[in-house]
Amino acid sequence: MKTSVLTALAAWSWILFFSPVAFAGAGKHGTEIITTDVCSVLKSPQAFVNQVIRIRGFVILGEDHMNISDRACPGRGIELVIKSEATLDHKDIHQFYVQMNHQGRIGFATITGLFQADPDPLTPYVLNIQQVKDVAP
């Protein structure tokens, strides 16, 4: 019995150590990140609820809201929110706001966050930002 347990542990150790895709696409705390696009999320939002997603799109920072959209599905977008005060302290979030303000509050960015249903009928779904990268005009 002891030998089979040791053999199994050795096999799992080898798989986890040598497999280059063992944790590919994993975010903080091992959460799987789904890379998708704005139009796919808008087409089937229920499929993404409570999933961590990564999308790239055109971001607009308004006075009291921000959203991400895509030319492939014009006139529609996903509301972006930050629900955690701690997230505001992240360096990437700070740099995002600084760069977007220098760009006239518009630009492209890759946003990773938790996609959630929202009780507001105007914004039935929101993307709770966890990470921002590749900000560009």
Q: What does pLDDT average to over the chain?
A: 83
Q: How many CB atoms lie within 10 A of CB 35?
A: 11
Give mean pLDDT, residues 106-127.
96
Confidence (pLDDT) at 118: 95
pLDDT greater than 50 at residue 19? no
Give the Cα separation of 38 and 103 in Å (integer): 22
Residue 110: closest CA among 129, 89, 134, 81 = 134
CB 79, CB 67: distance < 8 Å? yes
Residue 29, pLDDT score: 52
H/E stretch holding 69 reads strand 66-69
Sequence-ordered list of residues with C-beta below 8 angstroms from that of 1, at least 6 positions apart, any chain: none
Tell me what the mean pLDDT of segment 17-38 comes to: 61
In a domain, 132, yes or no: yes
Q: Supply the pLDDT for residue 104.
A: 96
Report the number of distinct structural domains present in the chain. 1
CATH of the domain at 104: 2.40.50.140
Decide if 97 is inside a domain: yes
Kindly report, residue by residue over 57-78, the tens digit of the pLDDT: 999 999 899 999 999 999 999 9
Q: What is the pLDDT of residue 37?
A: 98
What is the model's pTM? 0.77
Specify if 4 maps to a domain. no
